[in-house]
Amino acid sequence: MSSDPVSAVPSLVIDTSGHFIDREESWLAWNERVLELAETQELPLLERVRFLAIFATNLDEFFMVRIAGLKRRLATGVGTVSLSSQVLRPRLERISKLAHRLALRHSRAFRRDVRGALAKEGIEIVRWVDLSAGEQSRLQTFFRTRIYPVLTPLAVDPAHPFPYISGLSLNLAVVVRDPVTGRQVFARVKVPPSLPRFVAAGRQRFVPLDDVIAAHLDQLFAGMEIVERHAFRVTRNEDFDLDDDDTESLLAALERELLRRRFGPAVRLEVEDSISADVLARLAAELGVEETDIYRVPGPLDLSGLHGIADLDRADLKYPLFVPAEVLPANTPVATVLDQRDVLVQHPYDSFATTVERFVEEAAADPKVLAIKQTLYRTSGDSPILDALIDAAEAGKQVLVLVEIKARWDERANIRWARKLEEAGVHVVYGVIGLKTHCKLALVIRAEPDGTLRRYCHIGTGNYNPKTARQYEDFGLLTSDFEVGEDLTDLFNQLSGFGRHRAYRRLLVGPHMLRAGLLERIEHEARNHEQGLPARIQFKVNSLVDEVIIEALYKASAAGVPIDIVVRSICSLRPGVPGMSETIRVRSILGRFLEHSRIFVFENGGEPEVWLGSADLMHRNLDRRVEALVKVIDPDQVQGLRELIQRAMSGSTASWRLSSDGRWTRRRRSGRGAPLMDLQDHLVETRRWRLVDG
């Protein structure tokens, strides 16, 4: 039970029968924290709406990937015992119960709290029966001109088999009767995804799109009686296994798998709780779902569509706008600044456009730049960085871009702009066989006046995406350091060529040396503590799942090393267990921005080592991805990164705290009831008055 009066809702009870917290249960606990933000009445109202939509989108992905993967393993008999020692079928049943609880809580938060609060602010989300005659008349015209032409009712009878229901599509199950013959027919009507989920019925008054369609079914089934109609939504397995050996083009293999993704088996059926037993039974049988896969909730379904409501132009109901800090002098080239010192930026508090984008754009326009090499994992199609790379190639510079076309959910977009780059003359490499390239690297090679070459580098924790850079918290290091330049040259040559380079100077590169490098440093802290030397471990990550790393942290804790971990989402480590992890504390920060940076701090006997980069502590990052961490050496930057983690862990900072029983407890107020510091608000305020660095 949270100690916070606003969120006094029982938290999920997590299974902690072993050394590890179940990964999927921990994921659900993370989404519960997102839901708690939506339930927080002190937050701006449209931001609460946004968190409701984010929760829904998160849960969709959870079923499409995680639950789908577990069901596939159960069907094949592979890996039927989890990291937390749970047998797979009982584990799936337990996860289903937790997910059902959260789905109902999510629906209640919308219906009983947020919808009413919106109405008080003049924003109404109503059902068709609540509309005035004038509103219904206007929507009848809208239906006939905008909706009706794109609808395709599909009846089911001996001549018409049950239609394929695409993943995440919203549908109406309709039973119609012929008044002449008395014959009843089942039909399906797909709600067009090209139209808004909530349709404007008047000024800031909205109705679900499926309600509008349901009110006009007599036009789709002319001369028939509408016996019943119910909304439903299907989630399918949309993960895939790509065998990217060298027998065919990786691009062609991915395009084939993307087509196959549409036809994955159903893993969840969402229905309104008013659905009849007969219609539900038919849907379940046709879709092949079990009772535990059926989610009955009060309508409307698909609250991911609330993003459209959150986007309304109501600045009074949103977070205050802020302008990111300018950390580079506007009239000095980036290369000139980097000749003098390293620059560490933290987005979105520090401007992405005037640092990372500017770095690439200036390199593309600089006649002294000979080559640009960059990794791209996720970006936007209208990215200035893509345009700059194309300009550089067209200007005759050598440009290499390593595109990870297997970045989940962005595969099609990545294929499109990868081809655009190729058409402009950019050398495009599609990842590494058997691995995803997840590292965030850019390398610029520039000729100096004396004929020598100098290398300028960017290594980040986040993607080269100008849109997410305004929403995700990430770090990036800009440097002209010789050793980093040598490391990136070696790494890019390995990625575009064929080799297995292992010796780096200021990088830890996965998969071959990343886990080993982290384990070595964890063990070193334990030895230092035993020898009476200063010892401490501080991590800031998105997820902590890897059992080898966790066991090493347990051993270090047993040796007495203080360990602080800031984790955004999944944490399989159990902190505070006597004799195993009693010196480990775990906190989680959620809020306006998505915490995305990865930082690793080791006290190192009083000479702290700080690393940052792209890798989380998960099997996929440590075993199946090309990742890179860079060692930060500037003393002020080292201290700043350490202080950030210390501030996140502080008792005076609002956060969620993980206990040994797997429960997350939210702390937003002091014992006297005073609000604790919001870390993200603090960083916004401190950056607002920041002078240009240097």
Using alpha carbons, select from 691, 464, 679 the residue that is nearest to residue 592.
679
CB neighbour list of residue 655: distance below 8 Å, 6 or more residues apart: 587, 588, 589, 648, 649, 666, 667, 679
Q: How far is the CA of 50 from the CAs of 38, 47, 301, 542, 593, in angstroms?
A: 8, 5, 16, 21, 12
Annotated catalytic residue, options 230, 347, 438, 458: 438
Q: How far apart are CA 376 and CA 614, in angstroms?
A: 12
Pair of tokens at residue 597:
């940076």
DSSP, collapsed to helix, strand or coil, labels residue 668 as coil
CB neighbour list of residue 462: distance below 8 Å, 6 or more residues apart: 347, 440, 468, 469, 472, 474, 475, 476, 596, 597
Q: Amino acid identity, residue 501?
A: H
| Active-site residue, 230 included | no
Using alpha carbons, select from 51, 38, 12, 6 the residue that is nearest to residue 668.
6
Taking the chain, what is the end-to-end CA distance rounded to the nearest angstrom? Answer: 48
Q: How far apart are CA 561 and CA 557, in angstroms?
A: 5
CB neighbour list of residue 294: distance below 8 Å, 6 or more residues apart: 269, 271, 280, 284
Is residue 363 within 8 Å of residue 372, measured between CB atoms? yes
Q: Amino acid identity, residue 152?
A: T
Q: How far apart are CA 81 and CA 623, in angstroms?
A: 20
C-alpha R_g of the chain = 27
* β-sheet bridge partners, residue 376: 403
Catalytic residues: 438
